[in-house]
Amino acid sequence: MSSEVGVVAALCALLAVFCPEADAITGGSPVPIESFPYQVAIDQFRNQSCGGALIGKKTVITTASCFHRREIDVSDVTVRLGSATRTGGLSLGVDDFLQHPDVDAVLLYLDQRVTPRKEIKFVPVPTVPTAIRQGELVTISGYGDVSDELRAAALLAMDVEVCKDVYFFSVNTRACAGGWTAGMCGLRDVGSPLVNWLGELVGLAVQSHGCGQPGFPTVFADLTGADVLTWIEDNMDMKTDATRAQRLWSA
């Protein structure tokens, strides 16, 4: 068995879905935090608002649209790590942030460094630009809106040109997955991380309309392009752009 097939089989077993296409329950299946130790919950005004992923000792990535075009007041933002529920775990403040000028993504800089442990680990990003291919098995995780538990779902990637026709967007910084059969969709958590079969972070959930209906995939900010990968690498754990971001961009 090839390593790719082995990882895919393991993902399918973990998420209790049939592959390559499954009648998964909308909202995915409950999973332990140790299986997705990079998953974070982002709280604003003491209420959970978004998901995100830990990518460095002081860096979390989420979507800019998580903040609804508002300016970020970092004193109102906390990041919860290492918990499979909406409570518990490690709660840290945010010192600063940096938005990408073109992609719906923002880096949040934590107020202290994180020490990796079994329930808190970094998710790797691709080392070279690699487009998400149609039919590729990818996995989304997040807390969703159906329970307080961390959940995950295996999805099949959809050609972005087909997805453009569904949602009428024109930008080339999006990726799509799910929507192949009834019940296959994302978790409705903006910022929920999407990983490929190698466990690399390739996207962040942006929107999901018609969840649970065939033909309506979940839309993701695509993190596989050369520009965004370079931006992540250059600004990991320390912002190198001298201009402080004042307002978030959101598509």
174 and 205 inside one domain? yes
Kindly indicate the confidence band of residue 186, based on its pLDDT and cuts at 50, 70 and 90: low
Residues 230, 168: Cα–Cα separation, whole Å: 28
| Residue of 37, 115, 49, 118 lying closest to 81 (CA atoms) | 37
Comparing 25 with 194, the larger pLDDT belongs to 194
141 and 88 inside one domain? no
Q: Is 172 inside a domain boundary?
A: yes
Q: Is 130 inside a domain boundary?
A: no
Q: Is 189 inside a domain boundary?
A: yes
Range of the domain at 76: 37-122+228-238
Segment 157-182, tens digit of pLDDT = 988 888 888 777 766 788 888 876 65
Q: Is 30 inside a domain boundary?
A: no
What pTM, to 2 d.p., does this model score?
Answer: 0.83
**Sequence letter at residue 122:** F
CA atoms within 13 A on the CB side of 91: 13
214 and 233 inside one domain? no
Write out the DSSP string of 78-126. Answer: EEEES-SBSSSSEEEEEEEEEE-SSSS-EEEEESSPPPPBTTB-PPP--
220 and 233 inside one domain? no
* CATH number of the domain that residue 104 is part of: 2.40.10.10
User: Which DSSP category does 238 fall into?
Assistant: S
Q: Is 160 inside a domain boundary?
A: yes
| pLDDT attached to residue 48 | 65
Segment 42-84, tens digit of pLDDT = 988 766 678 999 999 999 999 998 887 566 788 889 999 999 9
| pLDDT attached to residue 80 | 95
| Residue of 91, 193, 85 lying closest to 148 (CA atoms) | 85
Q: Is 26 inside a domain boundary?
A: no
Residues 206, 218: Cα–Cα separation, whole Å: 8
91 and 148 inside one domain? no
Domain count, the chain: 2
